[in-house]
Structure 1
C-alpha cells in the first residue's frame, strides 16, 4: 500500500513538473515585444518553415481589389530565422501610439501569434493585437479610473420576428445613481455585429477614460446588431457556431431602419434615460453610418445628435425602400427641427471619400449645417476609434 501511494505521489509530481515545463515553454518567446524606443519585435518558433512574414496595420498599406473597388490592405514584412529556428522581425521605425492588429504568414498560411493571447475578431478574421501607448492610444487602455459596466441584453423585435441581442455600456456609478442618463446609439459596419464596437472600437475604455477626464458627459451607449436577419453575433444565437459572413440579406433595404424604434423603446423602458430628443444621439461607421443617416431623418424627433463615420452613402437610385424615398424632403424636415450636431468624418484615403464629399455638397446646396472632420488613411478601425473619441465629447451640451 505504501509503495502504491509513493507511486501516485511520484506520478502526480511528474505530471506537475511536465505541466509547469509546458507553461515555461510557452513563455520563452516574447512576441510582440514593445521596445523602449517604441519599435516592436515579433518572434515565432517555426524551425521547419521556409518563409515567415508578418502582416498588420502597422505596416504601409497595399492596394487590394475588392467588390467595393480598390481598398487599403495591410502590408507585409519578412522575418529572419536564427540558428535556433526562431524567426524575428523588428520594425525599422518606432510605431506611433495606437492599437494595432497583426498575423503571421507561415509559408503562405495566415495564423495568429501563438505567443500573444490577445486577439480580436473582425467578421471572420481573427488577429492578434497590441497597444503602443501614449497620446490618443491611452484612451484605448484600461487605466486606473472608475469603470462602467458592459452587459448583453435581449429584446423582442415584432417587426423583424426575432428576439435580438444588444450590447449596452452604462457609465461609472450608474448602478448607485438615481439620475437619468443620455444615450448614444452606436452602430457597426457591414459584417459586424453587436460585439464590434465593444471589441474593435474599444468603446468601454474610450468612454471610461473620457468621462474620468471630464471630457465627456456620463452616458449610456447602446450597440445593437445591425443585421436585420440575425438574432445575435455568430456563435451567440440559436444557430450555434457558424462562420461569419460579410454580406447578409436585409442589411440596407429599410427593414432595420423601420424596426429601430423598438430598440429605443426597450432602452427607455429598462434604463434610466433622458427620454427626449435632446438626450439621444445616433452614430455609426460605414453601413452603420448609412443606417444613422436614414434612421435620424426617418424619425426627426428622436435624435438631436447624428454622427456619420465613413458613412456608406448610396446613390438615390439604389435605395428603393420607402424609407429612402424623398431624401431631400426628409432631410429638410430633419434640419428644420435644428439638430444640435450633425457630424461627418472620413479618411482621405477612404474608398467612400468621394461619396461623402458629394453628400456634403448636397447638404451645402440646401444650407443644412454640419461639422466636418477629416483624417488620414482609409476605411479602418483606427479612424473609427478616433471618430468616437472626437464625437463623444461634443454630445449632450458637455
Structure 2
C-alpha cells in the first residue's frame, strides 16, 4: 500500500465547534502554521460568491442526505458515511460521484456542518450551473475508534490507511447501493486540509480511478510533487480537472504553492485559486462552490 505521513504540527484542520443547525456560526479567520509568503501569481481565480449562495431556497427541488453504514474489510468494523443524493434521484439514471474528505479534526459530518454541500448543489443544479451528482462524505480516519476524540494528531496514521478503505470498501459499497456511473471519468475526489492532502495523494496516484481531483487548504505530506505526479504525460492525458486552492492568510499556503509551481513548470493544466481567507470554512465552502461548477462538466 502506498502510504504517506502528514507533518503533525501542521496538518490539523482547526477545530470548530460542532453545531447541528444548517447555518453554523463561522469561526474567525485564522493564521495557521507559519506566515505565508505570497508569490506574484497567488491570486483569486474566482470572486467571492454572492450573498445567500448557500441558503436553503424553498422554491427549488432539494436533494436527500442520508447516513449509511458499510462493512470495512480494511478496518474490520462497520463504518459510517454521509451521502447526498441530488433532487429527483432515480435508479433509472447513472450518476457521477464526488468523494469529499474532511480534515484531521473532523469526521463524516464535518463537510455538512461547515459548508452545507447539499445546499450548494441544490442551488447550482436549479440554476443550471452544476451536474446532478452524488456526494459521498466518508470518515477518513480508518481505525476502529474513528471518532475525533482526544489528541487527534495521534490518529494521523489512520488517514493513510484510508487509501485502502476508500478504494477497497467505500467505493464498492457506494457502487453496490446507488445508481452510479462507474467510469473513472465520472468519479471525483476532493477534500479540505488533511482531506485535501489525502485527495492529492490518493487521486494523483490512482488516475485509473479518479479523473477529477481537488485540494482545498491541503495539508502537507512527505511526498514531493514529482512523486505525486511521476508520469507527467499521463497526468496531462487523464486528468479532467486538477484544483488547488488556499487562503492567502493560511500558514499552509506553501504546501499548495509548491505543488502549483511543479504543475506550472511541467505545463500540467490546473486551477490555482488563492483567495483572501485563512484555514477556515469560508475558504472551503467558497472553493467547493466553484469546484462543483467545474466537475463533471
TM-score (normalised: structure 2): 0.80
Aligned to 2:255, what secondary structure does the other structure show?
Answer: helix
Contact kept? 2:82, 2:109, Cα under 8 Å: yes
Q: 1:379 aligns with which of 275, 279, 283?
A: 279
CA distance in 1 between partners of 2:295 and 2:268 (Å): 19
More strand as a share of residues? 1
Match 1:357 to one of 238, 257, 261: 257
Residue deviations 1:187-224, cap 9 Å, x none? 11111000000111111111111111111111000000
Q: Which has the larger radius of gyration?
A: 1
2:160 to 245, 251, 254: 254
* Kept in 1: contact 2:76–2:144 (CA 8 A): no
| C-alpha displacement of 1:129 | 2.6
Q: 1:333 to 1:297 in 2, by over 3 A?
A: farther
Q: Offset of 1:249 from its aligned partner? A: 2.1
Match of 1:327 in 2: 228
Q: Residues 251, 284 of structure 1: CA spacing in aligned structure 2 closer, same or farther, 3 A cutoff? A: farther
Task: State the shift of 1:137 in Å.
Answer: 4.0
2:111 counterpart SS class: helix
CA deviations on 1:111-169 (whole Å, 9 max, x unpaired) are: xxxxxxxx617xxxxx9638xxx963412211111110011111111112221100000
CA offset digits 1:329-370 (Å, max 9, x no partner):
2x5375054211101111111111122111111222333221
- Written as runs of structure 1 = structure 2, the 5 A alignment for 1:74-93 is none
Q: What is the match of residue 171 of structure 1?
A: 86
Alignment root-mean-square deviation, CA? 3.0
Asked if the contact 1:313/1:359 (under 8 Å) is kept, the reply is no
Residue 218 of structure 1, aligned match among 121, 128, 132: 132
Q: Kindly tell me the number of residue pairs found equivalent between the two proteins.
A: 264
**2:94 is the counterpart of 1:193:** no
Evaluate the alpha carbon distance shift between residue 143 and residue 289 of structure 1 in structure 2; reply closer, same or farther with a 3 A threshold.
same
Shift of 1:72: 9.5
Query: In 1, Cα distance between the equivalents of 2:194 and 2:19?
Result: 20
In the superposition, relative to structure 1, how do residues 337 and 269 fare at CA in structure 2: closer, same or farther (>3 Å)? farther
Q: Structure with the greater relative contact order (CA < 8 A, sep ≥ 6): 1 or 2?
A: 2
Does residue 396 of the first structure (1) align with residue 296 of the second (2)?
A: yes
Q: Structure 1 length normalisation: TM-score?
A: 0.60
- Aligned-partner SS, 2:62: coil
